């Protein structure tokens, strides 16, 4: 999801208020400068902003003026590099994280999928033409991952697909 699209689907923005942690990559922080916050005061009532976690092997190259590092919730932003499974286990054990939302690019998404660390996917399709050489989910090649309990929601003009990843060994 990219904030610059400002589409109706972003009003849906898959419920940041329902998660304990929002996970992103250093590359996303450098390129998009996300805030990763609950912006609607009504949705924030009675809770704290979610923890924010930046995965980066090059933390020293993160922009010091990135919103995640200098806003009023900067103390809720963590930076880690290394083993994703270990990092998520640390978040669960030391920060009481039970639910994670990923707002990142294809490389981190692919790494999480390949390591079996994703239970559910929510993908937004907007009627906008954007082009780069990078895939939405890098690294999966031509192999697919089976999805179950697929739900489609029309968010004029966007489309949201929400699905649970199959734990079966077969691919589509």
pLDDT in tens, 55-76: 999 999 999 999 999 999 999 9
The rounded distance, in Å, linking the Cα atoms of 43 and 59 is 31
pLDDT of residue 43: 85
The pTM of the full predicted model, rounded to 2 decimals, is 0.81
Query: Exposed (0-12), middle (13-18) or buried (19+): which is 36, by Cβ within 10 Å?
Result: buried
Here the tokens at position 77 are 């932003």
Q: Where are the alpha helices (DSSP H) in the chain?
A: 9-12, 26-32, 41-44, 67-70, 84-95, 106-114
Question: Any long-range contacts for 128-135 (C-beta under 8 Å, 24+ apart)?
Answer: 128/5, 128/7, 134/105, 134/106, 135/106
Residue pLDDT, tens place only, 80-90 = 999 999 999 99
pLDDT band at 143 (very low <50, low <70, confident <90, very high): low
Lowest mean pLDDT among 7-11, 20-24, 161-165: 7-11
């Amino acid at each position: 999801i990219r904030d610059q699209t400002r589409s109706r689907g972003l009003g849906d923005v898959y419920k940041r208020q329902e998660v304990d942690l929002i996970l992103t990559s250093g590359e996303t922080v450098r390129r998009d400068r996300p805030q990763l916050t609950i912006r609607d005061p009504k949705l924030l009532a009675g809770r704290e902003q979610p923890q924010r976690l930046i995965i980066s092997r090059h933390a020293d190259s993160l922009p010091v003026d990135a919103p995640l590092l200098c806003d009023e919730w900067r103390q809720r932003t963590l930076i880690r590099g290394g083993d994703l499974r270990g990092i998520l286990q640390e978040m669960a054990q030391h920060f009481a994280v039970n639910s994670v939302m990923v707002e990142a690019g294809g490389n981190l998404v692919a790494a999480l999928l390949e390591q079996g660390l994703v239970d559910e996917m929510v993908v937004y399709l907007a009627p906008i033409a954007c082009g780069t050489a990078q895939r939405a989910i890098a690294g999966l090649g031509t192999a697919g991952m089976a999805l179950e309990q697929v739900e489609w929601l029309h968010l004029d003009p966007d489309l949201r697909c929400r699905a649970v990843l199959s734990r079966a060994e077969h691919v589509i």
